[in-house]
Copies of this chain bind each other. A is one copy, B any other.
Amino acid sequence: MQIIEVKTKSRPSTVYCGAGAAEKIGEVTRGKQLFVLTDTNVYRLYKEFIEEKFPAAALCVVPAGEKHKNRHTLFFILDKMLDARLRRNAMLVALGGGVVGDMGGLAASLYMRGISAVQVPTTLLAQVDSSVGGKTAIDHRGVKNVIGAFYQPQTVICDPLFLRTLPKRELRCGIGEIIKTGALDKGVYEKLKAGENRLFNLSFLEEITADCVRFKAGVVEKDECEKSGLRKSLNMGHTTGHALELFYGRRSHGAYVLIGMYFESLIAEREGILAHAYAEALRALIGKAVTLPHFENIGEAARVALYDKKNEGGDEISLIVPKDVGAYAELRLPVGRYIAYLQEIGGGIA
């Protein structure tokens, strides 16, 4: 198990990462009035674990799935917190995937203007990405994460024990963000290339999860609230990925991030930002995790991207694209050119 400190200005976080991390739960929650948030899927699988680790906690089980990451579920949680008469020194434990973590973090940030939050991510995606860094949110009126807060958890517990029950689709989702990290960080990239034939191997994933968390911690420390542009680099692949996810919506988030990176790497190559050899190596890595289908109407899908909240209006679209091993660039394109690229590229993939 590794211990990674995230030293943000607002509130430092400790991440316990690796086998045995879940054993820290007792120590972290000792003496606290506890509120445990989870969803129906996780509860079905980890009912006994929850009862053993949190015998005296108030328990709140919400319906599983991103479509419930909305104001109604948020207020359902806040109401349960009130019902449990949580005090200001209480602690909320969010045990689940990214949806539970995002909503739990937001509820913890809002209840009495903030109680302690502990993230216990049970998916690979949440372990490598969303549980660290304090981004919390709900979706609203079709806009992803448009209502939320930057609110650092006190503790994050990333234990690979939870990955054993994950379906392959969910593993692939996390691998999407891991490969994205590889496109930003040289060390992670080299490990991924060396291990590209065992991407779905749990012990390989355990090791690389800690590397991804450490990388993300460094970014978040320097740019907690996404002001300087550094944290924005973590959105690589997301502009196109989100657009495809919103429009087609059958695959996992991480799969769409990979597909987004794939397309955006082709665009970056044509724009002369990214060299061919590295681009090919990166796409080969992506190909180990995801198969690329032909997309019908990709131009329509891309138009959806214009409403992506990360694009600050206007007639340009902003993409974070790989440039070289461990390096990235921001590429601003006129919307028309971006859509033309996608139509040309999307149609060309079998």
Contact = CB atoms under 8 A, between A and B. Distances in A.
A75 interface: yes
A332 to B, nearest CB: 15
Nearest to A312: B87
A146 B88 contact: no
A307 to B, nearest CB: 9
Of listed A9, A110, A146, A226, residue having the most chain B CB within 10 A:
A110
A113 B110 CA distance: 12
Contacts of A89: 312
Determine how many copies of this chain the complex contains.
2
A276 interface: no
Interface stretch (A22-30, A78-86, A237-245, A262-270): A78-86
A89 B136 CA distance: 19
Given A9-B10, A313-B85, A146 B71 contact: no
Contacts of A75: 71
Contacts of A109: 149
A146 B82 contact: yes
Contacts of A112: 146, 148, 309
A191 B40 CA distance: 61
A135 B147 contact: no
Nearest to A88: B312
A141 interface: yes
Contacts of A78: 140, 147
Interface in A81-132: 82, 85, 87-89, 109-114
B149 A110 contact: yes
Given A9-B9, A82-B141, A82-B143, A113 B87 contact: no
